[in-house]
Amino acid sequence: MKRLPAAVSSSASLAYTTTSTGYPLIVVEQGKDVAVLAVLLDGEGRDRDPALSQPELAKLARLGITSVSLLRDDRMIGLVLEGWAFDPARSAEAARAAVAGAENGVRTLHPLVQMAVSAAPAEGGLR
């Protein structure tokens, strides 16, 4: 297994190898899981999806958030905020404010369980 340079990530130790089929495999060696917070907004009556401006993105980055996903159906909009250095217990309200401002009816969801799922058997390899 080869180590990736520290410039790739200062918050996690990363290494890579290849599987027997030649696919790259990135291994994250971290003492804790990536933190996740979902922010839910009312989507009814909106003519467009929310957009995050550069100042809002900078606020999220200062909170340790490195990834934002936008989800939507006809009634609800969800933003999934993730980051290795993000601490939702301490910064959930600041993150909510950065993406929703003073909007009413905003909910935040904290994960109960987070797990990886693999099709590979425990002894390795695909069958």
| Number of CB atoms found within 10 A of residue 49's CB | 11
pLDDT tens profile 34-84: 899 999 988 887 777 778 899 999 999 999 999 999 998 888 889 999 998
CA distance 30 to 10: 11
Question: Which helix (H) or strand (E) is 92 found in, with range?
Answer: helix 88-100
User: How many Å separate Cα 28 from the centre of its chain?
Assistant: 15
The domains found in the chain, sorted by start residue, are 1-31 (no CATH), 35-109 (3.30.70)
Tell me if the pTM is above 0.85: no
